[in-house]
Amino acid sequence: MKIIVAKKILKANDQLAEENRARFNQANVLVVNLLGSPGCGKTTLLEALLAKLDGRAAPAVIEGDLASSIDAERIEKLGVPVVQINTDGACHLDATMVAAACAEIDLDKIDLLIIENVGNLVCTAGFDLGEHLRIVILSVSEGDDKVPKYPTIFHKSDALVVTKTDLLPYSNFSVDRVITDMNRLAPKARILQISALTGEGVETLADWLANQCRRDGG
């Protein structure tokens, strides 16, 4: 018996991801893959971030969920173009799904596309969507041991955002431990501490992404 299917799928995905990236580059769109477990606060962070962009970048959002349009409705309320992908049970987005969603977005009119992946710290890490930046979120309520336990996703990320920092006084979460683990696993990754609730740190993330958009000519 030969088991080669997953590898084949990943290879095909990588080719499609490169096609997506070429398309994004041609349109001068910076694309971010936003990753994290269910309930870590991806959509809430996204809402806070979009509000802080303040016209410095023209954004659009792709929302990935197994079912429902709950998150897309939240983004739509902010007046930001949004496409919801329902994966019909699949636990990650792939490059084909993102290509299909992009058919619904006028890439020439935006310069920042944020893709909120399905809540999952495992297989989302294995699928390149054609993004330029991967940002992984870890909330204070999830525990401070996740970096060494889910090394692939943290290793492959360009930035780690520790969220819900407003809850730090009520938990034994050690930000220092996470920083130490992350510096060991992904020394080049940026580490930001954010509370979407109080707004702490949101500006730093917004500045970073807005500056990248400009640098990339978008």
Site for Mg ion in 8-67 (CB under 5 A): 42-43
Residue 91: contacted member of Mg ion, Zn ion, none (CB under 5 to 8 Å, by partner type): Zn ion
Span near Zn ion by CB under 5 A; candidates 106-114, 120-128, 157-165, 175-183: 120-128
Q: Is 92 in the site for Zn ion (CB under 5 A)?
A: yes
Residue 142: contacted member of Zn ion, Mg ion, none (CB under 5 to 8 Å, by partner type): none
Helix (H, G, I), strand (E, B), or coil: what is residue 163?
A: strand
Cβ atoms 177, 153 nearer than 8 A: no
- Nearer to Mg ion by Cβ, of 87 and 174: the residue is 87
Q: Is 156 in the site for Zn ion (CB under 5 A)?
A: no
Q: Is 153 in the site for Zn ion (CB under 5 A)?
A: no
With CA atoms as reference, report the closest residue to 165 among 119, 114, 199: 199
Cβ atoms 87, 97 nearer than 8 A: yes
Amino acid identity for residue 31 in this structure: V
Among 29, 64, 71, 195, binds Mg ion (CB under 5 A): 71
Question: Could you give the CA distance from residue 102 to residue 83 in angstroms, rounded to a whole number?
Answer: 8
Compute the least distance from the CB of residue 64 to Zn ion, in Å.
11
Q: Is 123 in the site for Zn ion (CB under 5 A)?
A: yes
With CA atoms as reference, report the closest residue to 27 among 91, 120, 105, 119: 105
Tally Cβ neighbours within 10 Å of residue 13.
18
Residues near Mg ion (CB under 5 A): 42-43, 71
What are the residues binding Zn ion (CB under 5 A)? 91-92, 123
